[in-house]
Every structure is written in structure tokens, then in C-alpha cells.
Amino acid sequence: MRMVDLIEKKRDGYSLLDEEIAYFVKGVTDGSLPDYQISAFLMAVLFRGMNEEETASLTLHMAQSGDLVDLDAIKGIKLDKHSTGGVGDKTSLVLLPLVSACGGVVAKMSGRGLGHTGGTLDKMESVPGTQVIQSEEHFIKQVNDIGLAIIGQSKDVDPADKKLYALRDVTATVESLPLIASSIMSKKIASGADAILLDVKFGSGAFMKTLDDAKSLAHAMVSIGKHLGRDTRAIITDMDEPLGQAIGNSLEVKEAIKTLKGQGPKDLEELVIKAGGLMLTQGRVAKNVEEGEKMIEQAILDGSGYRKLLELFSHQGGDISYLLNPEKFSEAKYAIPVKATHRGYVSKIDCLALGLDAMRLGAGRAVLEDKIDMSAGLYLHKKVGDYVEDGETLLTIYTNKEEVSDIVQNIASSYQISDQKVERAPLIHEVIS
């Protein structure tokens, strides 16, 4: 087989055979294919696309390019959840303890935050002592012992994706549906779960900017899961404004605790109830989504989800006195209120701008090597649809940095205020099963 022939075949719009895709992924992984041929192939895929069989085949070969996590030693249906990323997205920290408290078996491998989006592992590390890097043995034992573990993915999982993503990033080939879908799903397949819930976000703070693109990505990923025998469902959710009120690591952990105690923001609660209903159905703990949703509501009411969060952190070395007394989290040196300059209804929040501002304040990383300031971030007192008086606080900036005057000056312009009453857009748009 010659790579040039595969490039030509895809360039001319033909479908590739499984063995041809296997040849490509092997050459990417063992370094035998030069970057220029890989890049040319990626560009051909970007223009010509891939059918469902090709995309599933690419996903499987990518997943098999490195370590495959074997979760057979865990009893029950192993559940995983993945978000395509957003601003203030602390869903996993609320949802997964609730699902586990209801009897679901949750084995999640997670990622770090980059750019304007945060990552679950970073949020977890804001609780002192928490170890997110764990051996596979510890991971399996913890899931068997308490029904829940959230750890970082091993470096040896899916090396083909690392190489392909790095090349896509510099060859303008990130925005290809089959390449995005196979990149996300290959890591999930390699992580070994039986059932996967995908939270595919759309809007200014999300990777997919439009509802249609999010739907197409969700359909592509659900189809991959189906081809590869994993129960995969997707929930399409709005990320045109941040989720909840807190953005930034320890601020988000505090909000997760409040939500588990039934005192959280309504949008986050709505999302965890719907997603939890779906996951409990996937785990065959609930007969249907409605029954699952009721179980999640009960786990919020009776505090069992919160107690599961404490168990999760104590099994991963975290000092749970911070979760029991959230005021123990160290506060940023500066808390700067940003006020409205006229009254009216909040009609739009620039979610991407706030995510980038939070990153610049120290809450996120511009490059993977950056160090995070756990106490930095933003707290939104007003969200879309809320009424605000002239001079009322829209949001508070938390930072330890001295030089933030440009952010302070510009941040109010991330809010649009209208004289007319504004309806908030629905958070959950569709479920794809």
C-alpha cells in the first residue's frame, strides 16, 4: 500500500477501506509516514468528509494505537461522560456523584482545561491533596469500592490522536466533523467504558458555534458509538452564556457543593437532572429517563450525592475539610465588583470573552504548561433575562494579579443590557439516542 494512493483516493471523493485506514493510523503512530503526507490526507478528509463506516474505522484504529484501558474487573455497566467544553462547566463534579449515589457505576477519565474552557481535573485539584493521576489498578479498585472515580487519562492512551491533533492545529484541518468526532470518541473508546453520555455544547463559549454544527457532531459521535458497540447518547446544550454563576476552579467547586445541597443555580441543576436521568437509564439503574430524573432529584434532596462527592475526594487524597467548610478555600487577594452603567434586562453575555478573561486572571491556561491560580475567576451575579439597576453589580472579578486594569475596564462590555424584557434561551435543546 502507498500513502500517496490513499491521499489521491480521498482527494477524489472515494471511500476508504478499513485496511487502508488501519495503514494510515499505523503510519501516523509508528512515525513511518511523513508529516506532509499525513497533512495532505487530513486536508483531503476536511474537503471530502468520511462516511459513517470510515469514521468508525478511523476511531477504532486510533483508539487501538496505544493503551486500551481494560475495565472488565469492574462489576456492572461502566458509565462515562464527556463534555465538548465550555465556560463555568462544572457539571461532572455534580452529576457524577449523583449518578453514583443512585447506583450507577462511574469510571471517568478526564482532561485538563485549555484556553477559555476549564477542565474537571484542574477543578478537582483546587481541593488540597487531591490526586487525579492514579494507576489503572487504583482506578479499578476505587470504582469497585465506591462506584465512582475521576482521574486523568494516561499519557499512553491514543498516541495517534496526539500526533493528528498537533498536525491539524497547524494545517487548518481542525474543523472537520469526522476528524473531531473520531478524536473525541477514540479517547473515550480507549478509556474502556460501556456507555458514554456526551454533552455537546454550542454557542459563543463552545467549540461548536451553532446548534446545527453541534447536532451534526453529536450525530456523528453517537453513530461511532453505535458502530463500536457502546451505548452512546448525546445531549445538546446551550453555551451562549456561562453555566451557573462561577467561573474558575475553587469558585466552581464551591458552586458544585451548593448544587449538590440543592442550593445551586437553576441551569446547572436542570442539566444534571436531565443528564443524570439519561446516565441512569444507560446504566440500567432506571427503567426510563423520567424515573432516572426523579432518582437524581431525590439524591440532591437527601444529600446522598453530596456525601458521594466527599467519598470521591477522600478516596483520591483530597482534604475534605474544604468540602465540609468551603470558606476554607483561600480567597483571591482582590475581589473587584463590575457594575452596570444603566438599568434594564441582561440580553446577552459574551461567553467566550468571559472565559478568556477568567483565563487571563489566572483561572486557566493559554498553553498546557501554564500554572493555574485556583482562587482566580469570575462570579456572575446577573445572567441573561435578569433585571439590573444602574450601578448594580453584574459580576465580581477574583484575582491575585496586580495588572488587570484592562480586563476590569473592558469586562462590563461583555454584558448587553436592553430596555425590553428578555427570555432566556432553553438550556437543553435535544437528546440524541
Q: Would you name the residues annotated as active-site residues?
A: 82, 161, 168, 183, 187
Q: Are 236 and 200 in contact (CB under 8 A)?
A: yes
Q: What distance in Å separates the CA atoms of residue 322 and residue 330, rounded to the nearest whole number?
A: 10
Any idea of the CA torsion for 24, 111, 238, 407, to the nearest 10 degrees? -120
Under rule CB under 6 A, residue 217 binds ligand URA: no
- Least Å distance, CB 82 to ligand URA, is 9
Per CB under 6 A, which region of 143-151, 177-185, 229-237, 373-381 contacts ligand URA? 177-185
Q: Which stretch binds ligand URA (CB under 6 A): 148-156, 180-188, 311-319, 397-405?
A: 180-188
10 Å CB burial of residue 170 (0-12, 13-18, 19+) is exposed
Shortest separation between residue 160's beta carbon and ligand URA, angstroms: 12
Task: Annotate each residue in 154-173 with x if it binds ligand URA (CB under 6 A) or - if it does not, as one string.
Answer: -----------x--------
Contact 235, 431 (CB under 8 A): yes
Contacts (CB under 6 A) with ligand URA, residues 37-76: none
Compute CA 214 distance to the chain's CA centroid, rounded to the nearest angstrom: 14
Minimum CB distance to ligand URA, residue 352 (Å)? 15
- What amino acid is encoded at 212 in this protein? D
Buried b / exposed e along 353-369 (16+ C-beta atoms within 10 A): bbbbbbbbbbbbbeeee
**Residue 126 touches ligand URA, criterion: CB under 6 A:** no
Burial (0-12, 13-18, 19+ Cβ within 10 Å), 413: exposed
- Told to check if 184 binds ligand URA by CB under 6 A, we report yes
By CB under 6 A, tell whether 207 contacts ligand URA: yes
Tell which one of 180, 189, 349, 353 touches ligand URA (CB under 6 A).
180
Among the residue ranges 51-59, 178-186, 188-196, 318-326, the one whose residues contact ligand URA (CB under 6 A): 178-186
Q: Which is nearer to ligand URA, 180 or 273 (CB)?
A: 180
**CA-based R_g, the chain, Å:** 22
Residues lying near ligand URA in the complex (CB under 6 A)? 165, 180, 183-184, 207
